[in-house]
Amino acid sequence: MANKAPPRPAPRLYLSTPLIDDPASLATSLAGLLAGADIAAVLVRLKESDPRSMIGRVKSLAPVIQNAGAALLLEGHVDLVARAGADGAHLSGIAALQEALPSLKPDRIAGVGALASRHDSMSAGELGADYVLFGETDAHGQRPSLEAIVERVEWWAELFEPPCVAYASSRDEAYELALAGADFVLVGDAAWTDPRGAATALAEIGQAIGQAYAATRDAAKAAQK
């Protein structure tokens, strides 16, 4: 009889905020979104300002996010993480990860994206990244094809232990990336720009992730028979 692999946990949502200047209205909407969807973490993106103002924005959002059981990560701004009470930071590229690790570890989360190659991805894992991100847009608004992102997610999920986050720009992408083996699906504009509202968009995306998980679970059960 073949050894049964432990069941893969269901993928969860990772929500990226718009650039935040005034957090008051966002705090109100986030409370509802976190109550209505299975969101594991929120990536807080801060509009550049003086450190005190940026820390104040994070502190106004932290109770809403963390009391809902989600982690609060800052996009960059590693120097503000501890002072603002964040749970960690998301870094762009290997150099930024290396620079940030001493101040984040062992108590806080260090995630990393902008990984241009498999070698960079493996290096991130070896350095101790808590997750790797595939498929996000670059500084020029470009991103790989969905096929390329799926291929990278499948490769990582099959071979490596650290969680894999995949960026989805739509419900259909979220389904395909969860099916490929992503542990978390990062959603940003797909939620915030949906004319029906972010709550509806996230509900649909969460449903798609659940359907993908059910399909992979059923396939795994069939393979073990």
> Do the domain assignments include residue 5?
no
**pLDDT, tens digit, 9 for 90 and up, residues 107-133:** 999 999 999 999 999 999 999 999 999
| 3-class secondary-structure state, position 91 | strand
> Do the domain assignments include residue 3?
no
The residue segments making up the domain with residue 88 are 12-224
Backbone torsions φ then ψ of 44, nearest 5 degrees? -90, 120
What is the model's pLDDT at position 1? 34
**pLDDT, tens digit, 9 for 90 and up, residues 140-180:** 889 999 999 999 999 999 999 999 999 999 999 999 999 99
Q: pLDDT band at residue 25, thresholds of 50, 70 and 90?
A: confident
Say which residue, 84 or 224, is predicted with more confidence: 84
Q: How buried is residue 83: exposed, middle or buried, by Cβ count under 10 Å (0-12/13-18/19+)?
A: middle
How far is residue 79's CA from residue 206's CA, in Å, rounded to a whole number?
33
Contacts of 39 (CB under 8 A, 6+ apart): 12, 13, 14, 15, 33, 68, 70, 202
CATH number reported for the structural domain that contains residue 51 in this entry: 3.20.20.70
> Do the domain assignments include residue 138?
yes
Strands (E) in the chain, as ranges, are 12-20, 39-46, 71-75, 88-92, 109-113, 131-134, 164-168, 184-187
What is the model's pLDDT at position 178? 97
Residue with tokens 């009391």: 67
Say which residue, 18 or 223, is predicted with more confidence: 18
> Do the domain assignments include residue 7?
no
CA atoms within a 13 Å half-sphere pointing along the CA-CB vector of 220? 16
118-127 and 94-104 are packed helices; what angle lies between their axes, rounded to 10 degrees? 10
What is the model's pLDDT at position 2? 40
Q: Which two tokens stand for residue 145?
A: 């094809």
4 pLDDT above the threshold of 70: no
What is the model's pLDDT at position 195? 96
> Do the domain assignments include residue 95?
yes
> Do the domain assignments include residue 204?
yes
**pLDDT, tens digit, 9 for 90 and up, residues 42-95:** 999 999 999 999 999 999 999 999 999 999 999 999 999 999 999 999 999 999
3 pLDDT above the threshold of 50: no
Contacts of 3 (CB under 8 A, 6+ apart): none
> Do the domain assignments include residue 4?
no
Count of the separate structural domains present in the chain:
1
> Do the domain assignments include residue 1?
no
What is the model's pLDDT at position 224? 67
Vertex 219, ends 159 and 113: CA angle to 5°? 35
